[in-house]
Amino acid sequence: MSATDLVPVPPWTAEQTATLAQALKAGRLPHALLIHEAPGAGGEWLAVWVAQLVLCQESQPPCGRCLSCRRIAARAHPDLMWLGLEEESREIRIDQVRSLSQELSLKSHGGGYKVGIITPADALNRFAANALLKTLEEPPGATLLVLVVTQPSRLPPTILSRCQRLRVRAPLRAESLAWLRAAKGEGDWNAALDALGEAPMLLVQGEPAELAEIGADSRQTLDALARGDADPVSTAERWARAQLPLRLVCFENWLTERIRRAQADGSFLTEVRSAPYLSAGGMSLNIRELFGLMDGVREMRATLDASLNRGLALEVLFRRLTPARAGAREAQG
């Protein structure tokens, strides 16, 4: 069973899959795609789908059942290369890109396409991006590069300009609920989505009640940290031991809610200054601090496969929430 057989086709990707299938049929499939996904909306799913599209042995759109499709889903197809973060690294490095480029230059095993998937492509360091640019400028014949990103602004304009961009939006709540029920059956998916946001691809491997519980606990913990009622050290240790990827999604959603709330009620001033200026409610971080925290959470999510002290990294983020630290910044300002 392939990844596309394990779950129904996400309906919010219908436009993208139809566009890609038509482009291949017309001989106009680009040599480089950049999939800009909302977190958890299915960017990697679409990358797998397009690899199956060009390598499927049976049909177009891909059947999802043949040996080729199943190998792609298992990341074991000889003409598919995956490039991502390696152990003890927070970046995709130049040697990885050079190896990928060298492999793409070789003749395919099946006599057709060779496909390279880079995810998260926004983790490419400067040297790796420059090395990739050479392949994008002079791509070998019958090759397809697929870059999956959540923050394309982290990539150089020279990379962006050489890729055809596909946007995978966050699904509507009704779309998420219908898809999750079709994929996993009935359950309190609404509460789970409240916890993790419109990121159904993150939810499909879990149970809705457990996900909702994790989400509620994470929000309560973050509220307590912002009030100064929780200890950053012990909280970081607890989060690092259990369900950290999901809790980081909750953290990002929690920050997003506060940014939107403050924008809606006019709490943000148009200027950016060092002193906190969000009004009452326990959250004493200014807009710069909130977006800085968001970047820190996203970076940690992108580097979970790397070898790092997760407890310490979380503690650093949590301490930025505490009123004591905010008060120190205000005194310095």
DSSP element (H, E) containing 49: helix 43-55
134/234 Cα distance (integer angstroms): 47
Continuous H helices in 162-206: 173-184, 189-196, 200-203
Give pLDDT tens digits for 112-154.
Answer: 899 999 999 999 999 999 999 999 998 888 999 999 998 898 8
Enter the tokens of residue 102: 């060298």
- What is residue 243's predicted lDDT score, i.e. its pLDDT? 87
The residue ranges of every structural domain in the chain are 3-168, 173-332
pTM attached to this predicted model: 0.78
- What is residue 266's predicted lDDT score, i.e. its pLDDT? 57
Q: For residues 219 and 250, is the Cβ–Cβ distance under 8 A?
A: yes
162/112 Cα distance (integer angstroms): 22
Which CATH code of 3.40.50.300, 3.60.15.10, 3.40.50.2000, 1.10.1380.10 fits the domain covering 3-168?
Answer: 3.40.50.300
- What is residue 307's predicted lDDT score, i.e. its pLDDT? 65
* Residue 200 preceded by cis peptide, ω within 30: no
Q: What is the DSSP letter of 150?
A: S
User: Which span out of 66-80, 266-280, 286-300, 303-317 was modeled with the highest average pLDDT?
Assistant: 66-80
Mean pLDDT of 227-252: 91
- Asked if the model's pLDDT at residue 254 lies above 70, the reply is yes
DSSP element (H, E) containing 278: none
- What is residue 269's predicted lDDT score, i.e. its pLDDT? 44
- DSSP per-residue codes, 279-313: -SSS----HHHHHHHHHHHHHHHHTTTS---HHHH
- DSSP per-residue codes, 107-130: PPSSSS-EEEEETTGGGB-HHHHH
Residues 6+ positions from 36 with CB-CB distance below 8 Å = 43, 149, 150, 152, 165, 166, 167, 168
- What is residue 285's predicted lDDT score, i.e. its pLDDT? 64
Cβ of 181: how many Cβ atoms within 10 Å? 14
- Find the radius of gyration of the CA atoms of the chain: 22
> Given 3-state DSSP classes, what are the helix, strand and coil percentages for the chain, each rounded to the nearest 5?
55, 10, 35
Look up residue 186 and give its amino acid: E
- What is residue 2's predicted lDDT score, i.e. its pLDDT? 38
